Structure 1
Amino acid sequence: MTTATLGVIGGSGIYDLPGLKDARDLAITSPWGSVSASLREGWISETRVLFLPRHGAGHRLAPSDIDYRANIDALKRAGVTDLVSLSACGSYREDLPPGTFVLVDQFIDRTFRRETSFFGAGCVAHVGFSDPVAPRLVERLRQAAEAEGVPHVVGGTYVCMEGPQFSTRAESVAYKAMGASVVGMTNMPEAKLAREAEISYASVAMVTDYDAWRPHEGGAEVPAILAVMRANGDAASRLVARLAADFPAEHEPCPIGSDRALEFALVTAPNERDPALVAKLDAVAGRVLGAP
């Protein structure tokens, strides 16, 4: 069994994680680029927790400027086994008003400026992604939300747009018609990379607004979003604290294999693998690649 370490990525409005005991900063160097910030390591109850502000200190990084590969690699190097993503989002459903936390179970990736894989020429891998979140981690989040009285819904499809601009009305109406539940700018390729790194991943999409599909409203506006974001941040802190306090000491094997995603994913013959790329994959794929 593997000791469980809980990772938390904080999105817009969540730049710290209150309640960490014995907290310290870990500066992790990644061969993939610049990590958004130092990892904040500490303990909640008996659970080791690592926190990373996705946009960096003071929200200095736009969604497209985040080095998602470096972030996931750094969390993997630090020992994270289970990763919770907290992110602000817009809602496409009347029954998902601002203040609701959506425990996402599907994604539609509409980004186009981001590196989406650790693998490529010299070491090709294809991981399964039909079910992109870890169900046991989602269930623990549901239990924590229930215990803390946080309004939540289990299940929903998250559209990840490129940003940093908000949606046009036509885009908003189209995504709603597709059956999407929420829209955000950061869960892709984050969720894909977590799967490649064999980290169990779950997303908490925290609704701040109704995007632009309601004809009687002016669309997403920053001042109103920021006000809701502050309240969501307080609820998110309670949610994470309860999740960590009740977290198991040992990592629970994922029933869909998210923590074993590379088991049969590598397709490049060993004698054809690029040694430089294999060396960069030491943390992400060392379990299946062995020593470079």
Structure 2
Amino acid sequence: MAIGILTGSGTYALPGFTTSGSEPVLTEWGEAFVSHGSWAGVEVLHVSRHGVGHPRLSNHVTHRANIAALKSMGATGVLAVTVCGAVEPDAELGSVVCFDDLHFLSNRLPDGSLCTFFTEPGEAQRGHWIYEGPFSSDLRGALLRGAEEAGVPVRDGGTYGHVDGPRFNTRAEIRSLALAGVTAVSQTAGPETVLCGELELPYALLGFLTDYANGVTAEATPVETLVANMAASTQRFSEILQAALSHATAATPAPAGVVYRIGGN
């Protein structure tokens, strides 16, 4: 039983992960690069969204290929992590959030196309993803239990706001997100959440707060603080994920919601 792990800025490899390295996986949606190996005694499929050296900015991430590759390689669920800008002024930098809701109004991929695998009329698997919450409750539980065992405080619940990169947001844009109840923002996890939902692949998301989004505080977070927090996120994510893996594989996690397949398949 393999678990997919998706990492972003600051976490390009998993500390102590036994693998032969990143290998290309060809999908209908292009090529993804996946590292297959063992971590904390569990079979893991790791995708670094941006790649070592960060060659892919958020507008270059190949979301459909990444998710399709994990599904085709037998992942039973996906644990994802992202560094975030805090939208709530009382949120503490360096803290971790296990999200339970999503704000992704545009529902578009970096190239501007709609975020879906269902691109052709009459496609057999076409359907509507219907859910109360977009994240797998089983995998959220695994992350929260893992964090408790690792001794890392984690906020249980919060709204992840997906914003389009590579630029950061204006004060006005952040004010609108705050009014919508967004807890923190980053530039990659919206498409992942939706695409995993369409494939009925359970998905859960952790965020590490590296800075305050534009206008949240009177003074902007220094870039040096953002970079330092990004570096610190690697260890925190690693501690939680390693402890969570055994819980994530204890039973097959359930996906969030259902996909009503119009084709009846």
Q: Which position in structure 1 is the counterpart of 2:24? A: 27
Q: Distance in 2 between matches of 1:215 and 1:239?
A: 29
The match for 1:82 among 72, 77, 98 is: 77
The match for 1:12 among 9, 17, 20 is: 9
Q: Distance in 2 between matches of 1:82 and 1:215?
A: 37
Q: Which position in structure 1 is the counterpart of 2:252? A: 251
* 1:137-192 superposed Cα distances (whole Å, 9 cap, x missing partner): 10110111111122310110111111211111111122112211111111111100
Q: Secondary structure at the match of 1:14?
A: coil
Q: Which position in structure 2 is the counterpart of 1:116? A: 115
Aligned pairs, number = 258
Q: Secondary structure at the match of 2:182?
A: coil
Q: Tell me if structure 2 keeps the 8 A contact 1:105–1:157.
A: yes
- Indicate the structure (1 or 2) with the bigger Cα radius of gyration: 1
Q: Secondary structure at the match of 1:34?
A: strand
Q: Please show how residues 59-74 of structure 1 align to structure 2 within 5 Å.
A: 59-74=54-69
The residue identity in structure 1 corresponding to 2:91 is L
Counting strand residues as a fraction of each chain, which structure ranks higher? Answer: 2
Q: Tell me if structure 2 keeps the 8 A contact 1:129–1:195.
A: no
Change (3 A) 1:162 1:46: same
Q: Please show how residues 121-132 of structure 1 align to structure 2 within 5 Å.
A: 121-123=121-123, 124-132=126-134
The residue identity in structure 1 corresponding to 2:212 is Y
**Paired-residue identity, %:** 29
Q: Tell me if structure 2 keeps the 8 A contact 1:160–1:186.
A: yes
Q: Which position in structure 2 is the counterpart of 1:107? A: 102
Change (3 A) 1:21 1:57: closer
Structure 2 residues not aligned, in runs of 5+: none
Change (3 A) 1:85 1:45: closer
Q: Distance in 1 between matches of 2:210 and 2:243?
A: 22
Change (3 A) 1:137 1:157: same
Q: Tell me if structure 1 keeps the 8 A contact 2:88–2:216.
A: no
Change (3 A) 1:18 1:93: same
Q: Distance in 1 between matches of 2:179 and 2:249?
A: 40
Q: Which position in structure 2 is the counterpart of 1:230? A: 231
Q: Distance in 1 between matches of 2:210 and 2:114?
A: 27
Q: Secondary structure at the match of 1:83?
A: strand
The residue identity in structure 2 corresponding to 1:199 is L
- Cα deviation for residue 136 of structure 1 reads 1.3
The match for 1:201 among 192, 200, 203 is: 203
Q: Secondary structure at the match of 2:30?
A: coil
Q: Which position in structure 2 is the counterpart of 1:275? A: none
Q: Please show how residues 87-166 of structure 1 align to structure 2 within 5 Å.
A: 87-111=82-106, 112=108, 113-120=112-119, 121-123=121-123, 124-166=126-168
Superposition CA RMSD, Å: 2.0
Q: Which position in structure 2 is the counterpart of 1:53? A: 48
Query: After the TM superposition, which of the residue ranges 133-142 and 102-111 deviates more from structure 2?
Result: 102-111
The residue identity in structure 2 corresponding to 1:43 is S
Q: Which position in structure 1 is the counterpart of 2:242? A: 241
Q: Tell me if structure 2 keeps the 8 A contact 1:86–1:203.
A: yes
- Cα deviation for residue 24 of structure 1 reads 4.2
Q: Tell me if structure 2 keeps the 8 A contact 1:97–1:210.
A: no
The residue identity in structure 2 corresponding to 1:122 is G
TM-score by length of 2: 0.90
- Cα deviation for residue 54 of structure 1 reads 0.6
Q: Tell me if structure 2 keeps the 8 A contact 1:44–1:245.
A: no
TM-score by length of 1: 0.82
